[in-house]
Amino acid sequence: MGRFVDLVMGAGACAPKKLESGNPLVVLGVQAEVNLAGVVFTPSPAKIKEWVAQIKLYLRLGLLTRGEASKLAGRLGFAAQHVFNRLGRALLVPLYRHMNARSSKIGPELEMALVWWCTTLEEYVRGSAASGVARAVCNGCFAICFSCRYAHGGI
């Protein structure tokens, strides 16, 4: 494929990193893996680490602008859908609320949600996919209680 692109577009038209192949293959931060069950799409570990670093920065600063909240909600929405089988969607609600807030200050509800996401994503990257989902399921009670406004303290 690389030779074809060079022939048609000229030598060096496409960066070598854009012509990667293999299984799993990472394209634009999405890892695609072909197995007997079909194709599985998940966020790449590098992207997840980037998200965790961003969340930790927001928590340390105690501030999150509306635009940053919107972008983070989109990224985490992908993770909630494809990594944790939609489990984390309840913990996106504080981000959506924050997108419409007048203040950039992180409140206690958003802080709890961001800590949950940070912890769960770190666990996913550290362990296997199964342990990441297991951690999310363990926190599922918290997610359900949180979405119903019956949050019970720590994570």
Given a cut of 80, is residue 44 above it in pLDDT?
yes
CA distance 128 to 64: 30
Give the per-residue pLDDT at 131.
Answer: 45
More confident residue, 77 or 22: 77
The mean per-residue pLDDT over the stretch 82-92 comes to 69
Give the per-residue pLDDT at 80.
Answer: 75
Given a cut of 70, is residue 84 above it in pLDDT?
no
Band of pLDDT at residue 106, cut at 50, 70 and 90: very high
CA distance 57 to 52: 9
Given a cut of 70, is residue 144 above it in pLDDT?
no
Give the per-residue pLDDT at 86.
Answer: 60
Band of pLDDT at residue 154, cut at 50, 70 and 90: very low
Structure tokens at 33: 């893996």
Given a cut of 50, is residue 49 above it in pLDDT?
yes
Given a cut of 90, is residue 58 above it in pLDDT?
yes
User: How many CA atoms lie within 13 Å of 71's alpha carbon, on the beta-carbon side?
Assistant: 9
Give the per-residue pLDDT at 85.
Answer: 55
Long-range contacts of 73-78 (CB under 8 A, 24+ apart): 73/99, 75/43, 75/47, 75/51, 76/51, 76/117, 78/43
- 7-11, 13-17, 56-60, 111-115, range with greatest mean pLDDT: 56-60
